Structure 1
Amino acid sequence: MDNLTHSLAGALLGQMGLKRASRFALAGCILGANAPDIDFIVPFFLPVDYIAFHRGPTHALFGLPVMAAGTVALLWLVDRLKPAKPGTTPFRAWPLFLVTLLAVISHPFLDWLTTYAVAFFAPLGDRWYSANAIFIIDWVYWIILGLGIWLSVRRGKRGGAHTGRPAQIAGGILLLYIAANVAWSAHAERTLAAALRQRGIQPRLAVASPPPFAFWNRTMAWRSDSIWGSGNFAPGTGLSLNPETRPLNLDDTRFLRARATSRQVRSFLYWSRMPIVVEVAGRPVLTDQRYYRALDDKSVPAAIRRRAPSASFQIPLDLPSEP
């Protein structure tokens, strides 16, 4: 998810009542909810590619306590440098760690809901997990989270009782929204797989991708051992399959040569769940079905389609090799 959503999720956890656990507990919730994305700096210091490292170790089960401990250590240092005023909540390291850890856990959970996926067991495991339920930027999230935070803050300023109640209700509504979208995507994927089998095609993977804005629709992507295709799924109309199928082209000699010589290609393949080789403007390109022409969906406003970079998640295969 985008970092605004992660920040709002952390703030909502704090407003639910966790901010009373310790001095800087609200800050711990917000910082912890964003902490796993510190992985963006790693490629500047280590010989790794962002696409292979992002949503890996810092988002994995083994890394979450480390992210929480690092956040608490930073806030402990602030507490030492800026002593609390009399009457304020004291700094309590253990309660702050537990609160921050909960916020840190919210980060890979929200990321898992998108199609980009999370490597939950990195670096010991290389499998990527995804619920394919929520677009990476979701306006419904913003409304639910924002209202829950605002109503709790307003109740607190007015001196009302149970100031965390609005945030708790918003959290419950958010979980219901998430559960409904997870179930809807799973239903769309099962429907797609069944339709393909009726046509004599054995799908190896079927993915339902929510487009931006129209969260009730799904852009469908499927692949067998040799071909791939697409479609759409929507309430009322159900499943519509694109009759065109195309080869995966993973036996293309240009791809095989690039895979053997280019670290960038290997990093892309480590992350990609649905790699394909296509021709773009006469050039061979490695891409991923989930994001290849993803913004062509009619539910995406034309202004966004015009401004979106056309080469996102595309690696030309005719470039010089990299070590």
Structure 2
Amino acid sequence: MDNLTHSLVGALMGQAGLKRRTGLAMPALIIGANIPDIDAACFLWLQGVQHLAFRRGITHGPIAWVLLPLLLAGGLWWFDRWQARRGKRPAGRLPVRFGWLYALSLIGTLSHPLFDWFNSYGIRLLEPFSSRWFYGDILFIIDPWLLLMLGAGVWASLRREKRGGAWRHPAWLAMVAITLYICMNWAITRDAARLASLDMDITHTIANPAMLDPRKRDLIWVGREGRHVAIPGFAGPTEDRLVTQPMGDAWLPSCDLAEAARRDSQVAAFLFWSRVPFVARDGDGSLFLRDARFADPRAVSRFQVELPPGTCTQFFGQ
């Protein structure tokens, strides 16, 4: 998910009562909820689409779940002692207990891979022990309704706390609402994916969440002779509302992507990340490798790599 969502998740857990466990609890929860994204530093040394193969891996896996909270808790504990030595420690701050600080850093950190798993971008939950990608296909990467519930819960809790009321209640209510919302989206994804049972030559179905309408899914039918997507977004079990079309221009089995990957590290990185690759041609005949999950014209430029000429030998419509 986006980092605003992760931050609000950490803040909401704090407003649910966890921030009273130790001093600096809120920084532990909020920073912990974002800290696996330190892998974004890879943009400093990786070129092109190579970041797709690096991100959501080692810093999102089991070793990082233990070490990153430890580093965060240690840093916050040192910061508290440093402020105290300088006489700058806020008088109202609760005593800092390292055990609780580590526990809250761990809770915040674990919330990050959980919410990243909810979308279709993918996450390597077992890295470095396994490079397998996991996908929840439950929420869009930036879900405005989830952001609204998170923000409302944090705002209402802080407002009530300022007035001396039961400030934990709004946060808990928001957490229940968010849980129900996630469960609803899981059920929609599951039901939409059942279209794989239609009488078509399909290996499996991906129900990709839409951005603004949680009822809809872009159905990507992974077939043996290419990729097919249902357009517009599926909003119910009415088969006559589906319009299918091939994704891309090339018949994928005719494309020697393995050889292209050996020749070009950019292609290799893209294929490692891609879940539903397809090949498209532009006006001058150049071939581009893309992914059906991110085929929107507004995003496709960030999720494509050019293929060497002659990679594919057969094209649709020829």
Query: Do these two structures clear the TM 0.5 threshold for a shared fold by scoring above it?
Result: yes
Please state if 1:88 is matched with 2:88: no
Cα displacement string for residues 151-189 of structure 1 (whole angstroms, at most 9, x for unaligned residues):
1111111112x3211101101110110011011101101
Q: Distance in 2 between matches of 1:24 and 1:14?
A: 10
Map 1:99-118 → 2, pairs under 5 A: 99-118=104-123
Please state if 1:136 is matched with 2:141: yes
Distance 1:46 1:94, change over 3 A: farther
Q: Distance in 2 between matches of 1:239 and 1:28?
A: 51
Structure 1 residue 105: Cα displacement: 1.0
Q: Distance in 2 between matches of 1:248 and 1:153?
A: 56
Q: Distance in 1 between matches of 2:158 and 2:68?
A: 27
Q: Distance in 1 between matches of 2:135 and 2:240?
A: 21
Map 1:8-47 → 2, pairs under 5 A: 8-42=8-42, 44=44
The residue type equivalent to 1:33 in the other structure is: A
Asked if the contact 2:192/2:236 (under 8 Å) is kept, the reply is no
The residue type equivalent to 1:318 in the other structure is: P
Match of 1:225 in 2: 224
Cα displacement string for residues 70-93 of structure 1 (whole angstroms, at most 9, x for unaligned residues):
211221221122123445311111
Match of 1:301 in 2: none
Unaligned runs of 5+ in 1: 296-307
Q: Distance in 1 between matches of 2:152 and 2:18?
A: 18
Please state if 1:122 is matched with 2:127: yes
Asked if the contact 1:15/1:153 (under 8 Å) is kept, the reply is yes
Asked if the contact 1:233/1:239 (under 8 Å) is kept, the reply is no
The residue type equivalent to 2:266 in the other structure is: Q
Q: Distance in 2 between matches of 1:155 and 1:134?
A: 30
Structure 1 residue 49: Cα displacement: 2.8
Asked if the contact 1:230/1:241 (under 8 Å) is kept, the reply is no
Q: Distance in 2 between matches of 1:165 and 1:99?
A: 20
Distance 1:107 1:134, change over 3 A: same
Over aligned residues, Cα RMSD in angstroms? 2.1
Q: Distance in 1 between matches of 2:126 and 2:156?
A: 37
Please state if 1:172 is matched with 2:203: no
Match of 1:304 in 2: none
**Total equivalences in the alignment:** 299
Structure 1 residue 241: Cα displacement: 3.6
Please state if 1:272 is matched with 2:289: no
Structure 1 residue 4: Cα displacement: 0.8
Distance 1:76 1:239, change over 3 A: farther
The residue type equivalent to 1:59 in the other structure is: H
Asked if the contact 2:24/2:93 (under 8 Å) is kept, the reply is no
SS in 2 for 1:234: coil
Asked if the contact 2:290/2:300 (under 8 Å) is kept, the reply is no
Cα displacement string for residues 204-236 of structure 1 (whole angstroms, at most 9, x for unaligned residues):
231111121112111111112332201131047
Distance 1:50 1:238, change over 3 A: same
Q: Distance in 2 between matches of 1:225 and 1:44?
A: 39
Asked if the contact 1:208/1:220 (under 8 Å) is kept, the reply is yes
Asked if the contact 1:249/1:278 (under 8 Å) is kept, the reply is no
Distance 1:68 1:46, change over 3 A: farther
SS in 1 for 2:234: strand
SS in 1 for 2:302: coil
Match of 1:50 in 2: 51
Q: Distance in 1 between matches of 2:143 and 2:92?
A: 40
Match of 1:285 in 2: 288
SS in 2 for 1:228: strand
Please state if 1:187 is matched with 2:191: yes
**TM-score with structure 2 length normalisation?**
0.87
SS in 2 for 1:233: coil
Structure 1 residue 99: Cα displacement: 1.1
Match of 1:311 in 2: 301
Q: Distance in 2 between matches of 1:151 and 1:27?
A: 19
Of residues 257-266 and 9-18 in structure 1, the stretch that sits farther from structure 2 once superposed is 257-266
